[in-house]
Amino acid sequence: MVMRNKFNLFYQGLEQAEQLDQIQDLIVGLRDQLEVDHAVYHWVSTDGEQYGFGTYPPVWAQHYVDRDYLRVDPVILGCFQRFHPVDWKNLDWSSKAARNFRKDAISHGVGNQGFSIPIRGPNGQFALFTVSHSCDDETWTKFTDAHQRELILVAHYLNQKALEIEKGRAPEPVRPLSPREVDTLTYLAMGYGRGQVAEMLSISEHTLRAYIESARFKLGAANTTHAVARALSEGLIVVGGAAREAEGHWPGKDDITAVSA
């Protein structure tokens, strides 16, 4: 599917990124793939310090800081302490300050449409991922409807990476997978279909999907295949020789042993 490939490139690049300028390039690439005017990541710390990257014109970013728009921007005010994605149309633009801010933003090329995803990081950290564009309402609704789910994931993966880089730490160890997630990815790595895996774990396919979704998020993966590959390369799951020699039994284990014997 074309749409997913758009994000795959971004995810793979992000996984390897170690510096801010690499993330900057990735966001520019993502913006181009999405065919919108802008994509921006914006971190606001509790003491009002700002940090971000993206495609807004540098003049606008500087202007935003100089004018102290953080206090006026309905996107910040409307997303702070929230966790649902917000279409800018649904924010409160009724004050004079907000209307003037909007006019100023549009004149700097931000666009008349926007969609922002609030992110709640650890210890009260707050960040936003935004895409903005110039188009009519109908076109924008179509775009956000089609991309909302992936944009939410992009937002959170970006934030994870920003936290790593900002703190100047070695990349955080991959979040531990739970036993259920390990089972799920292991069976998928062994080539079982989702229906079979669900049956082996005695759960519905709907619930299996939750385990896959959760594992995918912990691994920062673009999709299930990528999650399996990443779990294998991180040594979080083991298949093949080691799995055959492992104690315990699961359906199909003997078949694998037989095939490779």
Partner 1 sequence: MLRYIYGDELSNFPRLQDSMHRDRATQFRDRLKWDVSVDQNGWERDQYDDLNPLYVIWENERGQHGGSMRFLPTSGRTMVNEHFAHLTDTQISSPLIWECTRFCLAPDAGPRVAGALMLAGGELMRAFSLTHLLGVFDARMVRIYRMIGASPEVLGSTGEGRDQISVGLWAYRAEDRVKVLRRAGLSSTISEAWFNRSFGYTVRAKQAAA
Q: Is 99 in the site for partner 1 (CB under 8 A)?
A: no
Q: Is 81 in the site for partner 1 (CB under 8 A)?
A: yes
Q: Is 216 in the site for partner 1 (CB under 8 A)?
A: yes
User: How many binding residues for partner 1 (CB under 8 A)?
Assistant: 43
- Other CB atoms within a 10 A radius of the CB of residue 217 amount to 15
- 31 SS3 class: helix
Q: How far is CA 44 from CA 71, 77, 114, 204, 255, in A?
A: 12, 12, 18, 41, 54
| Cβ closest to partner 1, residue 84 vs residue 249 | 84
Q: Which of 86, 82, 96, 22 is nearest to 53 (CA)?
A: 22
Structure tokens at 225: 């295949």
Q: Is 120 in the site for partner 1 (CB under 8 A)?
A: yes
| Cβ closest to partner 1, residue 56 vs residue 177 | 177
Q: Is 209 in the site for partner 1 (CB under 8 A)?
A: yes
Helices (H), 108-245: 137-166, 179-189, 194-200, 205-219, 224-233, 241-245
Token look-up 């089609």 returns: 146
Task: For residue 52, give the amino acid letter.
Answer: G
Minimum Å gap between C-beta 58 and partner 1 is: 30
Q: Is 37 in the site for partner 1 (CB under 8 A)?
A: no
Tell which one of 20, 29, 108, 217 touches partner 1 (CB under 8 A).
217
| Residues of this chain that bind partner 1 (CB under 8 A) | 1, 3-4, 81-85, 87, 89-92, 120, 141, 144-146, 148-150, 152-153, 155-156, 175-176, 178-181, 203-204, 206-207, 209-211, 213-214, 216-218
